[in-house]
Structure 1
Amino acid sequence: MQFLHYTSVPWPYLVEPFSAFPDPNQACDPDRANGALRDTLAHMIAAENAGFDWLGMGEEHMNAYGMVPNPTLLLTVVAAQTRRAKIAVLGNPLPLLNPVRVAEEYAMIDVLSGGRVTFSCSRRKASSSPGASGHRAGSSESGLLKTAVRMRRLSILLPLLQVSGFSSLCSRALTVP
């Protein structure tokens, strides 16, 4: 059995739940946000020291459930400060992202971590985050497949991806026609 330490960095100071999306940002204090992010990094490192096999983070936009619009940013720090636990980038909505940027970010973390990265991608509907994406609802499933195919092709073209072994990483994580 293996264990995953997962977070999307929820806002710990929420007094009452917000009823509308996006959550209003007046409740976000920059000093408290700094502390929450630093605490999260410390917890991830402590989780590896406690024996967790995986350290994972997900993507969230404009809500108190998660303050991480791009988990690769924080997971890069985690990868640099840990040595054993696998790094899991979970739930990136591929149809809403630039496949070159995503592929290169994953490859960079994979190189930095010594090959410990894995990822999963969602086909999150654009309608679940209309203010963030600018994409129309209903295009997510075909967008996921198109982006996954592009990422697999990129693994052959981009030098950093060749160095990192991203092609095999991509093949393990994505099963596409």
Structure 2
Amino acid sequence: MANLVYYVAATLDGYIADRQHQLDWLMNFPLGDDATPYDEFYQTVGAVIMGAETYSWIQENSPEAWPYAYVPAFIVTHRSLSVPEGQTITLVQGEAADIAAQAREAAKGKDVWLVGGGKTAAMFAEAGELQRLFITQIPVVIGAGIPLLPVSKPVSLKPVTQKVLKSGGVELVYDVVVG
């Protein structure tokens, strides 16, 4: 079965964006050639899930092209959002288990990338639908912003790998422990 993987960068103090939903702290940080290549990770992905705020941010900040054009995308929302023509983008709402099942089926055996944001990832984690975290921790402290995983109950993690990068960033991979 395909895993739901929350692949994201976060500050040392646990934020994925600042209060204005900006990523300047990340864009100004060179990871270096020893970081896991994005393309290598993306090859394992058969579908993506994201929340409405993440989707809107991507639409505003990547106007030239939808970055997930080669995989089906599921946008968790209660709002009516515009969808670019010709893209496999489905607006969904409901239970995390149902959305995860739909995305896994569309992924055809590959993993499902839970792109974000934090509240969406927390929804899947709390429902027991998140299997793996792949966090690139950036040595920057911003003090406040959008939390990495704002769960309302503890989520236990089992370390899989840890890699300190020459840049000072740290790649952390954890399996989510269920039960």
TM, length-normalised to structure 1: 0.31
More helix by share: 1
> Which structure would you say has the larger RCO, counting Cα contacts within 8 Å and 6 or more residues apart?
2
Structure 1 or 2: larger strand share?
A: 2
TM score, norm. by length of structure 2: 0.31
